[in-house]
Homo-oligomer: A and B are copies of this chain.
Amino acid sequence: MFTIGRNTDYASRIVLHLACLEPGARVTAADIASRRLIPSAFIRRIVSRLSAVGVLATVRGSGGGIALARPAAQITLREVVEAFEGPLSLNVCVASPAVCPLAVTCPVQQAWVGATQHLAAFLTGVTFGDLAREIRDPQSVP
């Protein structure tokens, strides 16, 4: 079906949730999990990955929690996607042309390279600052 995995989607929920709060607000992972319908035993790994990648800043111990490492306006959807799906590459030969012996003369490869670049550009243009702003209008989510 050619879709992103659940990990990636959950990650975007987490970042979006934080982007909707006051800048710099810190909140526990379990809290986000319950509000955003993320399996509570699952969110740990996701948060861990996001912080390894530099999207989240975490504080351990009692009274700790997670927060955005940077302003939401500087976090792109692409960054979150690539943290879980790896570098964008719509066909195996885009990331590493060597895997296909036909790559040298294959015009389809060029098409996939182009499609990947277009998608990457689109996702780079979507920041969580923009996304959070869209949700402020109708009713603010707890």
**A interface, CB within 8 angstroms of B:** 1-4, 9, 12-13, 16, 36-37, 77, 81, 85-86, 88-92, 94-95, 101-102, 105-108, 110-111, 114-115, 118-119, 122-123, 126, 130-132, 134-135, 138-139, 141
Contacts and interface: CB of A to CB of B under 8 A. Distances in A.
Given A37-B101, A131-B111, A134-B107, A2 B85 contact: yes
Nearest to A110: B134
Interface of A is mostly: helix
B107 A135 contact: yes
Contact of A123 (B1, B88, B115): B115
Contacts of A131: 107-108, 111
Nearest to A93: B9
Which has the most chain B C-beta neighbours within 10 Å: A115, A135, A139? A115
A110 B130 CA distance: 12
Contact of A9 (B4, B91, B122, B126): B91
Given A119-B115, A119-B119, A122-B118, A108 B1 contact: no
